[in-house]
Amino acid sequence: MSEVTATDLYEVTMALSYLREGMQAPATFSLFVRDLPPGRGFLVAAGLAPALDYLSRFRVGGTDVEEFAEALRRPVEDLEPLDGLSFDGQVRAVPEGRLVLAGEPLLEVTAPLPQAQLVETYLLSLLCHQTAVASKAARCVLAAAGRPLVDFSLRRTHGPEAGMQAARLSSLVGFAGTSNVAAATRYGIPAAGTMAHAYIETFASEEQAFRAFARTHPGPVTFLVDTFDTDRGVATAARVLKDLGLGPGCGIRLDSGDLGALARRARTALDEAGLRDVQIIASGGLDEYGIDRLVRKRAPIDVFAVGTKVGTAADAPYLDAAYKLVEYDGRPVMKLSSAKVTAPGPKQVFRGPGLRDVIGLANEEPPEGTVPLLGTVMRGGLRTEPSDTLAAARTRFEADLAAMPDEARRIDRPTAPTPVVSTRLTVLTTAVRHRIEARTGTGQ
Amino acid sequence: MSEVTATDLYEVTMALSYLREGMQAPATFSLFVRDLPPGRGFLVAAGLAPALDYLSRFRVGGTDVEEFAEALRRPVEDLEPLDGLSFDGQVRAVPEGRLVLAGEPLLEVTAPLPQAQLVETYLLSLLCHQTAVASKAARCVLAAAGRPLVDFSLRRTHGPEAGMQAARLSSLVGFAGTSNVAAATRYGIPAAGTMAHAYIETFASEEQAFRAFARTHPGPVTFLVDTFDTDRGVATAARVLKDLGLGPGCGIRLDSGDLGALARRARTALDEAGLRDVQIIASGGLDEYGIDRLVRKRAPIDVFAVGTKVGTAADAPYLDAAYKLVEYDGRPVMKLSSAKVTAPGPKQVFRGPGLRDVIGLANEEPPEGTVPLLGTVMRGGLRTEPSDTLAAARTRFEADLAAMPDEARRIDRPTAPTPVVSTRLTVLTTAVRHRIEARTGTGQ
């Protein structure tokens, strides 16, 4: 797959038309989420790192023009104006890890119109997905209330590449590890894993399986105890661990049944065997709701392994995001379609304490006590700073999370703060609306 | 990303242990969906084509062993038994496009235990995702009742690679086209597209935008009419189309508002302008429920463009799929964990008329009037037949769909047929359960 042709056909037809009409003036597009999905009190900005990689590499070359022509069923010559086109625009963006709210731009692109248009689809695909997954993972961190979390999502994500991102994003919001080997090595995340039921089943008994595993893997091991009967599995695990003189760093994993009750009984059994240092890891369909219930019940679970529902952001697998033209050739523009009205002009988000945000114009003075969220990350198609690190993004996330009001942090029916719109943006919106209505005759 | 290291760490620790213990006897794993999600009366088997590509290429090489060692924090030498390991097993599978039900294997792998184990995560990631998306897209085809559908999902899928699959899978179930240029050229799907609101906004007026687009793109064009006011947009589009002598093959697109009411007014306006051949395309958050409502209301919509909710399988973005060991070294095995009991032994699905299926053992005689669903697609690590075509998969899908009972085809609260379990499989399940309970002391 060429990253350049992984685009909607209409980006190509529009870009070609702009070039034919000589419309290469600078355009600013704003990428934002219109409304937060139910069950979200905030979003975690994510996807900027791969988005900047994409823009840095963007260049129509190779067989791209042939593919465009084939898709349009037109001669290759007709598409040649697009050949060699690369991205040399400016990008202002919210750094990964910061919390964002409805209507706040995650990213604004300013570039000659054909370029800014051609990159729309791919940018949306990266940022929508990654912000959705990071936001879901962040809620698990809240629910776990300090207990470590591990990403087990690779087998359920929308393909392996989405699994790579799920590992990266869950680490970004503070997960302690991932089961995904490729992601662990690519992103420097601690790898974590235990054993599957299949492993136990291939041996003549659970005990033989545990002993064989410990033989192959000297050092701390984690035994999966629910293949046949969990209480017996715990007893067997305890016996093998004691026999082998293991303890600190070891664990048992519960993957089915009433995790709270099983964990309580397992903890008692382990403690009675003198294995106070052996951890209990819980997995099996967990998300922030399941974790929250277990934490509230004070289930003695030391580590939560989450996969399916986080890796697919299952209750909100997409975001209502848009990449909207807000200015062309110095002229602010907006759309009036019913229920999809957009505000004109390049924007800035001014963050006040407690996530009291003001959405204003990019060239406004920050209101007192606020800091601007969007910074310039690319100029002339080149990054203005070296690649961000996961650790830096995590630090930003933790700082914003600490400042967030309680009602947005709530697991059950959270309420997101509502950003205020600045006076200057309100005035501009009204003026542009009147101008368009006068021109198109759509006013009352 | 190496396809080999895109795996859960535990596959590696288990495979290594099997090798160390000399456990290389053949193992059969069965990949199946335990239960259908709410809102699904059937699933469409999908993902086999990329799964076989993956297995054909699978070989631990390059830096894979170093990555395994890094993830496990162990010396590279410890992981060397895995070096060079490739997949030379057998695969039996349901061809893409066939409908499958709860508990029916989509695929069974038989290979030396370490190989069969190592490929688990990647196979699940491909088949779960693709079956989920194909099944959602299939329901849109049912709802559209013969009207063409187009895939617009790339901007919302879980990354661009998931978008490629969404295009392929929606074509597999009968969509007429995709907006995704790379997918159109890779898979030979007709490319489709119109224009975005941004295009209209960069011109001084909607009419100038339409005229410019037609100048760049001679031949049939589709105009987006809802940027400012839809009824006026339709009138403008009609005027431009008439002026330019365009008609057949052209269209207008509605992307917001009450699509049914707007389509009705647009149809009247177009007809009155003598533009009976101009099609109405509807888009904007559609899925099978939205399409069904519009079709039932007889909205004069000619083409439905669907994206977000289909590309992410939004109401069921994952499947409760498992890759379970069912036989090792000739011995049938099963798991007894609460609520996750699996049936032992390699299986076959025998399809009777009206999707009255029997799940039996692989070596059973087909019950009268049934045909087996799983066929051998790989032997000794090599495909037994050339790659399947999308057209062939579509033909299978259409045949199964035509045979499906009405209650499974229903859009609103469908009921899936329940497969029957064969006597021989029931007998084996009971025997294996007793054997395990006797051995582990878990019986009553």
pLDDT tens readout for residues B260-305: 999 999 999 999 999 999 999 999 999 999 999 999 999 999 999 9
Decide if B121 and A155 are in contact by the 8 Å CB cutoff.
yes
Query: Is the minimum CB–CB distance between A256 and chain B shorter than 8 Å?
Result: yes
Decide if B158 and A154 are in contact by the 8 Å CB cutoff.
no
Could you identify the residue written with the tokens 């076959």?
A: B348
**A179 plus A297 within the same structural domain:** yes
Containing structural domain, residue B72? 9-133+316-440
Model pLDDT for residues B61-108, shown as the tens digit of each residue:
999 999 999 999 999 999 999 999 999 999 999 999 999 999 999 999
**B306 plus B227 within the same structural domain:** yes
Q: Pick the residue with more confidence: B127 or B444? A: B127
**Domain annotation covers residue B1:** no
Q: What is the CATH number of the domain that holds A256?
A: 3.20.20.70
pLDDT of A408 above 90: yes
**Domain annotation covers residue B405:** yes
Task: Report, as an integer, the average pLDDT of B6-22.
Answer: 97
Confidence of residue A436 (pLDDT cuts 50, 70, 90): confident
Structurally, how many domains does chain B consist of? 2
Decide if A213 and B13 are in contact by the 8 Å CB cutoff.
yes
**A354 plus A418 within the same structural domain:** yes
**A89 plus A210 within the same structural domain:** no
**A60 plus A197 within the same structural domain:** no
pLDDT of B441 above 70: no
Least confident of A12-16, A247-251, B437-441: B437-441
Question: What is the overall mean pLDDT for chain B?
Answer: 95
Question: What is the overall mean pLDDT for chain A?
Answer: 95
Return the number of other C-beta atoms located less than 10 Å from residue A77's C-beta: 9
pLDDT of A339 above 80: no
Residue type, A387: S
Coil vs helix vs strand at B300: coil
For β-strands A99-100 and A43-44, DSSP reports them as: antiparallel
Decide if A228 and B128 are in contact by the 8 Å CB cutoff.
no
Angle among Cα B410, B415, B416 to the nearest 5 degrees reads 110
Contact A9, A60 (CB under 8 A): no
The 3-class secondary structure across A302-346, one letter per residue, is CEEEECHHHHCCCCCCCCCEEEEEEEECCEECCCCCCCCCCCCCC
pTM listed for this prediction: 0.97
Q: Pick the residue with more confidence: B388 or A121? A: A121
Provide the 8-state DSSP code for B244. T
**A380 plus A355 within the same structural domain:** yes
Confidence of residue A444 (pLDDT cuts 50, 70, 90): very low
Confidence of residue A297 (pLDDT cuts 50, 70, 90): very high
**A293 plus A374 within the same structural domain:** no
Model pLDDT for residues B312-338, shown as the tens digit of each residue:
999 999 999 999 999 999 999 887 765
Confidence of residue B444 (pLDDT cuts 50, 70, 90): very low
B394 membership: H or E segment, kind and range: helix B390-403
Task: Report, as an integer, the average pLDDT of B335-357.
Answer: 85
Contact B407, B415 (CB under 8 A): yes
Give the chain A residue whose CA is nearest to the CA of B74: A217
DSSP B140-197: HHHHHTT--EEE--TTTSSSHHHHHHHHHHHHHTT--EESBHHHHHHHTPPB-----H
Name the domain boundary from A311, A343, A373: A311
Model pLDDT for residues B372-415, shown as the tens digit of each residue:
999 999 999 999 998 899 999 999 999 999 999 999 999 999 99
**Domain annotation covers residue A1:** no
| Residue count (chain A) | 444
Model pLDDT for residues A352-384, shown as the tens digit of each residue:
999 999 999 999 999 999 999 999 999 999 999
Name the domain boundary from B257, B289, B311: B311
Name the domain boundary from B311, B340, B367: B311
Touching A: B residues 260-299, CB under 8 Å: none
What sign results for the dihedral spanned by CA atoms B73, B79, B83, B89?
negative
Confidence of residue B340 (pLDDT cuts 50, 70, 90): low
**Domain annotation covers residue A3:** no
- Closest by alpha carbon to B111, among B84, B131, B92? B92
Q: Which residues of A touch B151 (CB under 8 A)?
A: none
Contact B226, B257 (CB under 8 A): yes
**A270 plus A158 within the same structural domain:** yes
ipTM for the whole complex = 0.96
Give the nearest partner residue to A228 out of B11, B325, B436, using CB atoms.
B436
**Domain annotation covers residue A2:** no
Least confident of A20-24, A153-157, A223-227, B429-433: B429-433
Give the nearest partner residue to B7 out of A181, A255, A321, using CB atoms.
A181
**Domain annotation covers residue A288:** yes
Q: Return phi, psi of residue B252, to 5°.
A: -125, 150
Pairs across A and B, CB distance < 8 A: 362
Model pLDDT for residues A418-428, shown as the tens digit of each residue:
999 999 999 99
Model pLDDT for residues B141-187, shown as the tens digit of each residue:
999 999 999 999 999 999 999 999 999 999 999 999 999 999 999 99
Model pLDDT for residues A191-242, shown as the tens digit of each residue:
999 899 999 999 999 999 999 999 999 889 999 999 989 999 999 999 999 9
**Domain annotation covers residue B3:** no
Model pLDDT for residues A240-286, shown as the tens digit of each residue:
999 999 989 999 999 999 999 999 999 999 999 999 999 999 999 99
